[in-house]
Structure 1
């Protein structure tokens, strides 16, 4: 990054997230960002559920993808793109809030490998793991 590039911090990361129309549509918010980590949350709403009442897997997958990319961006810089990721659903997402907690496990100069645990959070704050994802993110700069 040059001296003219703004430092990446939680406020700037939130502005980047808010610039994504789909993220606004699902009501995603960043609650933590920095040092190769990111936490993205969204509330479970009726319009984000599938036919059995669980949070739709596509929404869970979206949260993994964005949390992975933001965590990598905290390490590699703002200009990053997801190269690919995999997700394993371990139980239905039933809590009131979905929390995607991502952390870089390895970073080079141009790519990072990131793990993401996705949990639902109930009214008492208890987390229940619902999916695990891992992705590779490339520097676009």
Structure 2
């Protein structure tokens, strides 16, 4: 699967479309998803809602694993650690596969907020396991 096909896969996910997620890198055991932070994606203190960060980690981990395992995959589980409140106009999630077999892969994801000048700040880290679906 190439970047264009992976982008079609992302575009077929209604929730990803709702959030405005963009797949900016895919292949060679990696994936990057970005999204613009709109006001409705923030929590009561003005920071990006943790659920938005979890979505970005989950989907990016799975796309990275899909670069190795193929498109028929699902997240089996993941953990996320929030390191600092996420602000700024853009969120970028970068994932890489750290181990893979025939039917499962483990990926790591770093999540950054990106300011108007392009400077990034690490706000969360995640790790997850992705499995090939059967049937």
Alignment partner of 1:75 is 2:77: no
**Match 1:29 to one of 15, 22, 27:** 22
Aligned match of 1:136: 129
- In 2, distance between residues paired with 1:13 and 1:47? 27
Moved >4 Å (runs of 4+): none
Return 5+ residue gaps in structure 2 as ranges: none
Aligned-CA RMSD value? 0.6
Q: What is the TM-score of this pair, normalised by structure 2?
A: 0.98
Q: What is the TM-score of this pair, normalised by structure 1?
A: 0.94
Q: Report 1:104-119 matches (<5 A).
A: 104-119=97-112
Return 5+ residue gaps in structure 1 as ranges: 1-7
Task: Provide the secondary structure at the position in 2 that maps to 1:103.
Answer: strand
Alignment partner of 1:20 is 2:13: yes
Aligned match of 1:84: 77
Post-superposition shift, 1:118?
0.2
Post-superposition shift, 1:56?
0.4
Aligned match of 1:121: 114
Alignment partner of 1:65 is 2:55: no
Post-superposition shift, 1:96?
1.0
- In 2, distance between residues paired with 1:76 and 1:92? 33
Post-superposition shift, 1:84?
0.1
Task: Provide the secondary structure at the position in 2 that maps to 1:17.
Answer: helix
